[in-house]
């Protein structure tokens, strides 16, 4: 078998030795900051929540946080759904008003066209005339039928 060239040979174990800081590795100088208003300084000063994370992330609050997150997402979704429904209602309302106006117009046209005088005028080119005698009832004897 070919030797694996990627592995290192075992070195002598390291012992516990004292680390010495060298003068050359001194910390770089920090620039002096301007004094004035800073939004993040103000937020850090008045909303300091570092005490919550001193022992790590508080997992005992995780169910409550997830529950509140779920409620918030449901609330946002419900708001979007309600706004979409309101827009649909407004659109259908306008459509209904247009259809009602069309219905009224067609109904008045039909009422005008179904008058006796209008019907007589429309059928005159066909050679049909309006009867001047009243209608009569034809009586048939009971034994003929």
- Please give the Cα distance from 34 to 60 (Å, whole number): 41
- Please give the Cα distance from 100 to 93 (Å, whole number): 11
134 within a domain of the structure (yes/no): no
113 within a domain of the structure (yes/no): yes
The rounded average pLDDT for each run of 10 residues, N- to C-terminus, in the chain (145 residues) is 56 70 62 74 82 78 94 98 98 97 96 90 90 90 83
74 within a domain of the structure (yes/no): yes
50 within a domain of the structure (yes/no): yes
86 within a domain of the structure (yes/no): yes
6 within a domain of the structure (yes/no): no
pTM of the model: 0.46
142 within a domain of the structure (yes/no): no
How many domains would you assign to the chain? 1
117 within a domain of the structure (yes/no): yes
pLDDT number for residue 53: 76
pLDDT number for residue 125: 93
- Please give the Cα distance from 78 to 141 (Å, whole number): 77
Domain span holding position 111? 40-125
pLDDT number for residue 9: 61
pLDDT number for residue 132: 86
């Amino acid at each position: 078998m070919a030797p694996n060239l990627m592995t290192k040979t075992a070195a002598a174990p390291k012992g516990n030795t004292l680390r010495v800081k060298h003068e050359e590795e001194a910390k770089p100088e920090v620039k002096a900051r301007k004094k004035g208003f800073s939004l993040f300084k103000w937020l850090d000063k008045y909303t300091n929540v570092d005490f919550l994370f001193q022992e790590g992330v508080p997992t005992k609050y995780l169910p409550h946080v997830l529950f509140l997150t779920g409620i918030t997402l449901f609330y946002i979704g419900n708001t979007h759904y309600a706004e979409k429904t309101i827009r649909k209602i407004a659109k259908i309302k306008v459509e209904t008003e247009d259809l009602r106006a069309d219905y009224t117009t067609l109904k008045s046209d039909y009422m005008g066209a179904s008058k006796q005088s209008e019907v007589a005028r429309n059928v005159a080119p066909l050679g049909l005339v309006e009867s001047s005698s009243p209608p009569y009832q034809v009586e048939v004897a009971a034994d003929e039928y």
